[in-house]
Amino acid sequence: MAAFRDIEEVSQGLLSLLGTNHAQAQQRRLLGRHEQILERLLEMQDGAEQQLRETLAVEEKVAQSVLDTKERVDLEAELDRQEREVDEDTTVTIPAAVYVAQLYRRISKIEWDYECEPGAIRGIHHGPSVAQPVHLDSFQLSKQFVSDHLWSLVDTEW
């Protein structure tokens, strides 16, 4: 590096000063040169530190960008998975559930009230001669009783 060569030159000059008559003038000149070299080294060090800070800031921005990109990729993958689930629900699950519900309605002849509060079982049973309301509270009645009561409404004659 040029700075170290300059320091070596200054050191050689200082040694030669000791042996000559112009020692004082040469000493001042070499000390001035030494100061210049030190100032240059300090400026170079400051510049290097500034470049290091800038590099670290850029690295931090890049790392954050990579994390943001990874998060976006993960979110896109999750959205794709959810979209596939919704597609499956709309093409397979929901039509199958609708078919089963229609089948149960045709067999049991019960028109269910799907908008009643949780725990309430409501509907209208269209029996052979008269329509009869169905209103059961699943919180107060056992599952066995509810099942038996609903099956008792189904006409056994085909």
pLDDT of residue 1: 64
Amino acid at 125: H
Domain of 137, in residue numbers:
109-158
138 vs 145: CA distance, rounded Å: 9
Same domain, 113 and 93: no
Our count of domains for the chain comes to 2
| CATH code for the domain in which residue 147 is found | 3.30.160.570
Same domain, 114 and 141: yes
138 within a domain of the structure (yes/no): yes
Same domain, 127 and 157: yes
pLDDT string in tens for the chain (158-residue length): 676 677 777 777 766 765 655 667 777 788 888 889 889 998 999 999 999 999 999 999 999 999 999 999 999 999 999 999 988 888 887 788 888 888 888 888 888 888 989 989 999 998 888 889 999 999 999 999 998 988 888 877 76
Residue with tokens 């200082």: 14
- Please, what's the b/e burial string for 112-128 (b: 16 or more CB within 10 A of its CB; e: otherwise)? eeeeeeeeebbbebeee
97 vs 86: CA distance, rounded Å: 14
80 within a domain of the structure (yes/no): yes
- Per DSSP (E only), the strands in the chain are 110-112, 120-126, 131-137
53 vs 70: CA distance, rounded Å: 26
Which one of 91, 108, 125 terminates a domain? 108
121 within a domain of the structure (yes/no): yes
